[in-house]
């Protein structure tokens, strides 16, 4: 009996050590990809915004905010989704079901990537884009009201982002299975191409 307990302890300990190793690999991987994504997105947005008019800059800002909100919805949906119906769908070989199960089983990592990596990168880039828009407005207005313009643009960006994410979270919780199925279906469609 004691040998059995000892074996189970060793097995549990080994599993625990392997999870710690996996967590370290995940953390290093996510740090690397955050650095690459934020640098790339910042570089390309600065490159695109340098020579565009204020209307295109505002359109790009809206797109960046929308991407952040969309990935926040996916990150919340994956943590709220129920795995059971996807097992049933996977047994019937429904396209996207197996990927949906994988997404839900790795909900912590998917949520971290969607909410923290993509969401935060979009937040940083939208702030930088807002600063570029403010500089373009100041050039048009000969530099008048610089602090008012800066505060106004920052407040607008923050309110649209937070409001959009609040609406998105409610939707993500209600429609979590449909959202995850759509994401999984899209992933499988892209993989096959």
In angstroms, rounded to a whole number, what is the distance separating the alpha carbons of residues 146 and 4? 72
What length is written for the chain? Answer: 193
| Short-list 32, 10, 192, 185, CA closest to 94 | 185
**What pLDDT score does 179 carry?**
96
User: Residue ranges of the domains in the chain?
Assistant: 2-192
Q: How do residues 93-132 score in pLDDT, each as one tens digit?
A: 899 999 999 999 999 889 988 998 888 888 888 888 888 8
The answer to whether 114 and 78 are in contact (CB under 8 A) is yes
**What pLDDT score does 21 carry?**
54
The region of weakest confidence among 3-12, 22-31, 52-61, 118-127 is: 3-12
In angstroms, rounded to a whole number, what is the distance separating the alpha carbons of residues 66 and 44? 17
**Residue given tokens 């910042």 in the structure block:** 42
Q: How far is CA 137 from the centre of its chain?
A: 30
**Span 29-35, average pLDDT:** 82
Is the pLDDT at 150 greater than 80? The verdict is yes
**What pLDDT score does 13 carry?**
44
The answer to whether 65 and 160 are in contact (CB under 8 A) is yes
> Token digits for 109?
């990592």
- pLDDT-derived band of residue 6, with 50, 70 and 90 as boundaries? low
As a whole-number percent, the residues of the chain with pLDDT over 90 amount to 40
Is the pLDDT at 5 greater than 70? The verdict is no
**What pLDDT score does 15 carry?**
45
């Amino acid at each position: 009996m004691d040998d059995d307990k000892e074996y189970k302890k060793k097995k549990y300990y080994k599993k625990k050590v392997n999870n710690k190793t996996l967590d370290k690999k995940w953390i290093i991987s996510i740090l690397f990809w955050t650095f690459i994504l934020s640098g790339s997105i910042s570089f390309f947005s600065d490159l695109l915004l340098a020579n565009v008019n204020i209307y295109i800059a505002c359109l790009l800002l809206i797109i960046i905010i929308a991407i952040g909100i969309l990935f926040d919805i996916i990150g919340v949906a994956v943590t709220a989704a129920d795995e059971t119906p996807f097992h049933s769908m996977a047994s019937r070989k429904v396209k996207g079901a197996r990927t949906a199960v994988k997404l839900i089983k790795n909900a912590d990592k998917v949520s971290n990537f969607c909410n923290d990596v993509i969401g935060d990168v979009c937040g940083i880039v939208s702030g930088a884009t807002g600063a570029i828009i403010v500089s373009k407005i100041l050039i048009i207005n000969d530099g008048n009201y610089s602090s008012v313009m800066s505060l106004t643009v920052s407040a607008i960006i923050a309110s649209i982002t937070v409001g959009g994410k609040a609406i998105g979270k409610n939707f993500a919780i209600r429609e979590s299975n449909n959202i995850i199925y759509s994401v999984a279906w899209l992933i499988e469609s892209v993989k096959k191409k």
